[in-house]
Amino acid sequence: MSGIIALPVSNLNMASLFWFIALIISLTVHELAHALTADRLGDPTPRSFGRLSLNPLRHLDPLGTIMLLIARFGWGRPVPIDPYNFRSPRRDELLVALSGPASNFLLAVLTSFFSSYSPILYILVVVNLSLAIFNLLPLPPLDGSKILLNLLPPEQSSSWATAFDQYGPFLLAALLFSNFINLIISPIIGFFLRLLLPS
């Protein structure tokens, strides 16, 4: 996410701090949205793991947090769910997967109204848009893979899930290290940034 946009902050250390804070906030909101949606749809698993919380420590992954510090890119701990607790497993798992990116889109829109008042709010818009769009890519372990699998017919979904589990994480890592993902999502992020931050 660090190469997506030039930030209007002259002090590099302050900019890095703002990015770190924005990423912590965004990841916390993202994972909490998954947990709350699953809980509302009848799965008590996130609640039993203490994930219905705004405390970032409940949602941060140790390695993912270290990556936030050194690369301005990281990840949170996936929210555990049990689809068998849902009334409609495929539909409800789809809604849980969508809730994370949707929460980041919503936070980006709300923050954009106040982004001119503070650099960190501006960065928060960028980070939330980036997190939402990145997570919609249909590659595991991203939310987009769960969305795609639950939209496919059951038989096709089952066969694709096997291939996703075997090759998806390696393909995602290759795309990240090659910077190819940036080429895919940067134009989309730029489009939404022009809508939300026209100045």
Active site residues: 31
Q: Which of 179, 169, 137 is nearest to 1 (CA)?
A: 179
Query: How far, in Å, CA of 107 to CA of 133, rounded?
Result: 13
Distance between CA atoms of residues 178 and 175, nearest Å: 5
d(CA 110, CA 101): 14
Buried b / exposed e over 151-187, threshold 16 CB at 10 Å, is eeeeeeeeebbeebeeebeeebeebeeeeebbeebbe
User: In residues, how long is the chain?
Assistant: 199
List, in order, residues 6 or more apart from 139 with CB less than 8 Å away: 145, 164, 168, 169, 171, 172, 175
